[in-house]
Structure 1
Amino acid sequence: MNYVKITPSKLKGKVTIPPSKSLSHRAIIAAGLSKGKSVVENVMFSEDILTTCNAMEALGVTIEKKEEENNIYTLIIDGSTELKLLKKEIDCSESGSSLRFFIPICLAEENDVVFTGRGKLVSRPLNQYYEIFDKQGIKYSNENGKLPLKVQGKIQSGEFTIDGDVSSQFITGLMFTLPLLQGDSKIIINKKLESKGYLDLTMDILNRFSVEVINKDYKEFLIKGNQQYKSMDYRVEGDFSQAAFWLVAGMIGGEIDCLDLNPDSKQGDKEVLDIIKRMNGALNITSDKIYAETTNTSSTVIDASQCPDIIPVLAVLAALSEGTTEVINAGRLRIKESDRLTAITTELNKLGADLEEKEDGLIIRGKKELTGGEVDSWNDHRIAMALAVASIRCKDEVTIKDSGCVKKSYPTFWEDFKKLGGNVHEWSVG
């Protein structure tokens, strides 16, 4: 078990934002489904991205990894169009994206496969796929609704009705797979579609790799069969969901230049910029960096439906802003790596904040500063990083239990925190 103890201090300096995890997943998969070699640059090997690489290699894709600098790699990916499994088990670790993307991909050909995982992933819902399996006669079994999941068969083209308010990952998984099938397909969205930004990322990557998805106002997606992915070279841009931690850190106590961000990005988490502006935060945005400095921010209403991953750190900003902020449409945060509504409420309140948990949101009453103390990450990378940012405006030290969970998405987070002037003592027990 890893711990960190943080002595509160302002952060100042430049930080290169890690490459987008969402885009890295998608580019690696699209390159792996292409005929020929693709070069994917600026990839950080977090646990989730390693999981996706391993899954592609299990399908016969060759990935050569060249380290350019500290944990940043260029990948030379020799794709495979046959998709016959070299091994029966796909270990998805704790990556929800990997699991939900690869279930249909592995069924683009007749395959017999077992999906395993650990942590909260074991119980994260897969009902959207089970309904497809039942309809198409694909054999499957699980452990009382939990992983491991055994699947045997081949997915067929046709019409697929997907609930839009559960996870866009199911839709992305189908978008990767359906172009490879013989017939044409249609994805019909039932209920309100959330996380549209992630589907924009998927469709952009598919388009770059020569696959077309016709978007009918996010209500239907038309996908012709017998399409072929074509290899290309691609550089992954910086991740707004990770930049959000440093942008908030700048707001509450620092001066931080966030480098390698695309202000024209299609990432849904770019919404952090609009939310900070609504809270009267001072941002200086240029073509290659975003500068955040300490500002007296104020309350707002935050709709979490399109940007659930940045809610934990925005809760920190709200906890240190004037007035009462309300987070709405956040029910899906309960089925992430932790129940993030309960986790962020419990732990920020331990630090002296004033959060009230609702069924699908939060009420956050702002304070000028927090007290400090001991908190738990709930083995959730975004909770750990949000608590680290909160320490900046605490009177006393902050100790975070299970701090090593940041390696799931941002393995160099603690290094970057220290480079910006953070006073961090790390240790391990057991």
Structure 2
Amino acid sequence: MSSTTLQYKQPSLQGDITVPGDKSVSHRSIMFGSIAKGKTTVSGFLLGEDCLNTIDCFRKLGVDIEVDGTNVTINSPGIDQWTEPAEVLYTGNSGTTTRLMLGILSGTNLHTIMTGDASIGKRPMRRVADPLRLMGAQIAGRDNGQYTPLAIQGGRLNAIDYTMPVASAQVKSAILLAGIRAEGTTIVREHEVSRDHTERMLHQFGANVTVDNGVVTLEGGQQLTGTHVNVPGDISSAAFFLVAGALTAGSRIVLNNVGINETRNGIIEVLQNMGANMSIASNGENTAEPTATITIETSHLTATVVEGAIIPRLIDEIPVIALLATQAAGKTIIKDAEELKVKETNRIDAVVNELKKLGANIEATEDGMIIEGPTPLHGASLKTYGDHRIGMMGAIAALIAEGEVTLDDADCIAVSYPTFFEHINNILK
């Protein structure tokens, strides 16, 4: 881990960017391709550390996975023919991998042990383990399965009818992935709809699944069939350049092939509500995940309130939305975002602490934050907490801050966006 110092003197940003593949879809493409019998091909795969750890886990289970740039080929014997791994499955910094794998592994005939990095070791897992136990899963770990390492003794599962206590695509997906192997019909009910990549991919791989007004119904005992997955650009990565383009004087950035799944596009709605100078050209509905070309230009922004049903659609973008709000006229309020406390770090505290160092007028609340703007930002030494989203927030802040911004660990950004700084440099004018 080494520090990185950034200083940009009144830059403008001009040019096109194709952001890396969607992290959520990339993870799931490997998981579904490995569960399915036969050949699956993936294009646009994200070569970030998290997703590469997902590949490594399935290779240890006996799945043949070849990587050629952003193209991946999976040849799987199907979940019934996986081999019990001699090694511990290492998920790195990926909560998605860790939680979804719990659902997948619970329905196998294998004994597996799973662990991650220090950050994963602090993140709550019983929110997944407990509903899986209702299905018959045998999961052991620290604090009764709250923390990694986790040991899973696969076996027979029974379907459940489960009402989600909080909006969480990871919990929902773990239950559905277990439901593929369960006896009976698994039902998951959501009060607020979380991202639906799992439901879409179940359709892609031939599963019989229905989604109706927040209720997902999946028949158990289904065999998935290999297919082709086209991974769209990650809107969570694009969000940082959307904010950069809006805040940096004399800028115009064109973002290509960005996923605009309606369960993920909350950042676009916030930018529109704040008056951003932005246009969106849909690329059509010819893939399982809709995409668009988004153009953002320097904007005069006004404050807004971010709350309620939109929160699950932008939970990963809140750090950079908070930065955006420091330059908007008025008081921006972010609430109903308690889920930020159990991300890679407590993102409410982390965002508030680091933006304050830069001179932002920002205060934490129990479930979010309040930001007064516009406020000029100045240089500072920032802590990333090993969290890629906090690291990228700090780097984008450096574009508009007076003086040097130092990140204590810029390497953490590679988890989701290995070419992040290269893309900034490519559009600097």
TM-score, scaled relative to structure 2: 0.90
* Residues 110, 323 of structure 1: alpha-carbon distance in 2 compared, 3 angstrom cutoff: same
Report deviation, 1:162: 4.9
Corresponding residue number in structure 2 for 1:112: 111
Contact residue 138 and residue 153 of structure 2 kept, 8 A = yes
Contact residue 102 and residue 129 of structure 2 kept, 8 A = no
Q: Distance in 2 between matches of 1:298 and 1:118?
A: 40
Q: Distance in 2 between matches of 1:266 and 1:405?
A: 26
Q: Distance in 2 between matches of 1:202 and 1:337?
A: 21
Amino acid in structure 1 at the alignment position of 2:5 = K
Report deviation, 1:155: 4.3
Contact residue 197 and residue 266 of structure 1 kept, 8 A = no
Is 1:310 the counterpart of 2:312 in the alignment? no
Is 1:352 the counterpart of 2:381 in the alignment? no
Q: Distance in 1 between matches of 2:294 and 2:399?
A: 20
* Residues 149, 333 of structure 1: alpha-carbon distance in 2 compared, 3 angstrom cutoff: same
Structure 1 unpaired stretches of 5+: 68-72, 423-430
Q: Give deviations 1:254-288, integer Å, cap 9, x for gaps.
A: 221111224xx325332211110110000022235
Corresponding residue number in structure 1 for 2:254: 257
Aligned length: 409
Corresponding residue number in structure 2 for 1:428: none
Contact residue 40 and residue 228 of structure 2 kept, 8 A = yes
Report deviation, 1:231: 1.2
Report deviation, 1:158: 2.0
Is 1:280 the counterpart of 2:275 in the alignment? yes
Contact residue 383 and residue 409 of structure 2 kept, 8 A = yes
Q: Quote the RMSD (CA, aligned, Å).
A: 1.9
Report deviation, 1:161: 2.5
Contact residue 63 and residue 75 of structure 2 kept, 8 A = yes
Corresponding residue number in structure 1 for 2:301: 297
Contact residue 194 and residue 263 of structure 2 kept, 8 A = yes
Q: Distance in 1 between matches of 2:150 and 2:161?
A: 21
Q: Identity of counterpart residues, as a percentage?
A: 29
Is 1:56 the counterpart of 2:51 in the alignment? no
SS in 1 for 2:77: coil
* Residues 34, 136 of structure 1: alpha-carbon distance in 2 compared, 3 angstrom cutoff: closer
Report deviation, 1:5: 1.3
Corresponding residue number in structure 2 for 1:70: none
Contact residue 128 and residue 163 of structure 1 kept, 8 A = no
Is 1:3 the counterpart of 2:3 in the alignment? yes
Corresponding residue number in structure 1 for 2:238: 243
Is 1:66 the counterpart of 2:61 in the alignment? no
* Residues 172, 381 of structure 1: alpha-carbon distance in 2 compared, 3 angstrom cutoff: same
* Residues 305, 329 of structure 1: alpha-carbon distance in 2 compared, 3 angstrom cutoff: farther
Q: Give deviations 1:39-91, integer Å, cap 9, x for gaps.
A: 10111210110111112222221101112xxxxx2111112321342335211
Corresponding residue number in structure 1 for 2:130: 131
Alignment of 1:149-188 (within 5 A): 149-165=150-166, 167-181=168-182, 183-188=183-188
- Which consecutive segments of 4 or more residues in structure 1 shift more than 6 A? none
Corresponding residue number in structure 2 for 1:329: 336
Q: Distance in 1 between matches of 2:43 and 2:212?
A: 32
Comparing 122-131 with 291-300, greater Cα deviation is found at: 122-131
* Residues 299, 155 of structure 1: alpha-carbon distance in 2 compared, 3 angstrom cutoff: farther
Q: Distance in 1 between matches of 2:380 and 2:128?
A: 43
Q: Distance in 1 between matches of 2:230 and 2:136?
A: 40
Alignment of 1:197-208 (within 5 A): 197-198=194-195, 200-208=196-204
* Residues 306, 90 of structure 1: alpha-carbon distance in 2 compared, 3 angstrom cutoff: same
With CA pairs under 8 Å and 6+ residues apart, which has the higher RCO, 1 or 2? 1
